[in-house]
């Protein structure tokens, strides 16, 4: 039988009305929380029991509409999916509710998601194809083809990953993880014909996948396990396969990584920098190189072009064969 339990907590909620407030502030609410309650229940209780003017978005209460996302103690959550006691276990008995993005706050938890929707729209998040108005049968898809796009298709456009992404905080051009997940989902769809266009768009410096810093925040923030960073990696591969990837520091870094493993069975950190940025680019990393030298991660002769002092893995043959059979695009000869 379900055992009812209760805990007393304090909630500090971000309050701001863009029409009347100059600055935001936090308002404190005390309440007793039962162990079955969700974060959405606590939002409802602030509105229904404490302050009718408190504003937030919600609709389905079933993790489908993607409208109820907020941050709890800086952790992005889908309010109707997150158990309040789990959050109390994690953060203690003071919970802080913030909107997904404070700088886009319109009213309390409600933000203006225009930037999110504009980017979503730009990558054409739908199957582009000439549809026969009188088809003789349905469009068929193999189970393996469906499997390829299934997890990306679970995206509910909640925006959690988008507003957790550190690149978007400093570069508004960047499409962001949700748009990339959608770009992958429709490009990998066998019925679609706009894949080339999407790959061109997502290959552009500044806005594209090569500006992702691989922090995994998007994967952590996603309530539907879409794993956007994995889709970004798949877009990297698709761009290489279709010869769309531009030759720049980021793509050369990816190439240098494979090149190094293929040559040594180990990662040669200095060689990757030399390969992707050239001898002139090396000076930017002097400080890091000195720290790595001190820590024994590199040797002072590592970046010299005629000195090969990298140890070789005893399984080098096997590693090279594995790369050969799994590699889907051609890299420069080493």
Residue 63 binding target from ligand FES, ligand SF4, none, CB below 5 to 8 Å by type: ligand FES
Of 156, 151, 165, 181, which is closest to residue 58 (Cα–Cα)? 156
- Span interacting with ligand SF4, options 37-45, 138-146, 157-165, 308-316, rule CB under 6 A: 157-165
Q: Which of 192, 269, 173 is nearest to 238 (CA)?
A: 192
Asked if 214 interacts with ligand SF4 (CB under 6 A), we say yes
Residue closer to ligand FES (CB basis): 10 or 59: 59
Q: How many CB atoms lie within 10 A of CB 181?
A: 31
Backbone dihedral region for residue 35 (phi beyond 0: left; psi -120 to 50: alpha; all else: beta): alpha
| C-beta closer to ligand SF4: residue 229 or 238 | 229
Using the rule CB under 6 A, which residue among 43, 68, 105, 178 binds ligand SF4?
A: 178
Shortest distance, CB of residue 159 to ligand SF4, whole angstroms? 5
Residue corresponding to tokens 């029991």: 49
Which partner, ligand SF4, ligand FES, none, binds residue 289 by CB below 5 to 8 Å per kind?
Answer: none
CB atoms within 10 A of CB 59: 11
Q: Out of 100, 101, 157, 207, which residue is the one contacting ligand SF4 (CB under 6 A)? A: 157
Q: Which of residues 32-91 bind ligand FES (CB under 6 A)?
A: 58-61, 63-68, 78-80
Task: Tell me how far apart the alpha carbons of residues 185 and 189 are, in angstroms, rounded to a whole number.
Answer: 6
Residue from the set 221, 289, 303, 310 that interacts with ligand SF4 by CB under 6 A: 221
Q: Which does 278 bind (CB under 5 to 8 A by kind): ligand SF4, ligand FES, none?
A: none
Minimum Å distance from CB 40 to ligand FES? 6
CA distance 303 to 247: 21
CA 278 to chain centre: 29
Which residues contact residue 161 at a Cβ distance below 8 angstroms, ignoring those fewer than 6 apart? 76, 176, 177, 178, 181, 217, 218, 219, 221, 222, 226, 228
Q: Applying CB under 6 A, which residues contact ligand FES? A: 58-61, 63-68, 78-80
Q: Applying CB under 6 A, which residues contact ligand SF4? A: 155-161, 165-167, 177-178, 181, 212-218, 221-222, 224, 226, 228-229, 232
């Amino acid at each position: 039988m379900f055992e009812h339990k209760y805990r007393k907590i304090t909630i500090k909620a971000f309050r701001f009305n863009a029409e009347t407030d100059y600055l935001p502030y936090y308002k404190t609410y005390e309440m007793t929380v039962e162990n079955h309650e969700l974060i959405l229940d606590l939002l409802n209780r602030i509105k229904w029991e404490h302050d009718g003017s408190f504003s937030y978005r919600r609709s389905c209460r079933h993790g489908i509409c993607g409208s109820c996302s907020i941050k709890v103690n800086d952790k992005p959550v889908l309010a109707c999916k997150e158990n309040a006691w789990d959050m109390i276990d994690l953060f203690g008995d003071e919970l802080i509710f913030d909107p997904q993005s404070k700088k886009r706050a319109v009213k309390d938890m409600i933000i203006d998601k225009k930037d999110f929707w504009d980017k979503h729209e730009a990558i054409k998040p739908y199957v582009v194809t000439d549809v026969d108005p009188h088809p003789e049968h349905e469009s068929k898809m193999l189970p393996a083809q469906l499997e390829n796009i299934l997890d990306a298709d679970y995206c509910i456009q909640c925006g959690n990953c988008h507003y957790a992404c550190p690149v978007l905080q400093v570069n508004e051009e960047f499409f962001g993880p949700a748009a990339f997940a959608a770009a992958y989902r429709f490009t990998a769809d066998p019925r679609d014909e706009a894949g080339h266009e999407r790959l061109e768009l997502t290959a552009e410096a500044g806005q594209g996948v090569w500006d992702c810093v691989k922090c995994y925040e998007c994967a952590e923030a996603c309530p539907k396990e879409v794993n956007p960073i994995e889709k970004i990696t798949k877009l990297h591969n698709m761009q290489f396969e279709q010869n769309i990837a531009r030759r720049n520091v980021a793509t050369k870094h990816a190439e240098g990584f494979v090149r190094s493993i293929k040559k040594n069975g180990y990662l040669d950190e200095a060689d990757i920098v030399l390969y992707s940025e050239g001898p002139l680019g090396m000076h930017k990393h002097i400080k890091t190189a000195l720290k790595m030298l001190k820590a024994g991660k590199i040797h002072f002769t590592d970046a010299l072009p005629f000195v090969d002092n990298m140890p070789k893995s005893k399984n080098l043959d096997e590693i090279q064969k594995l790369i050969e059979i799994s590699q889907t695009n051609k890299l420069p000869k080493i």
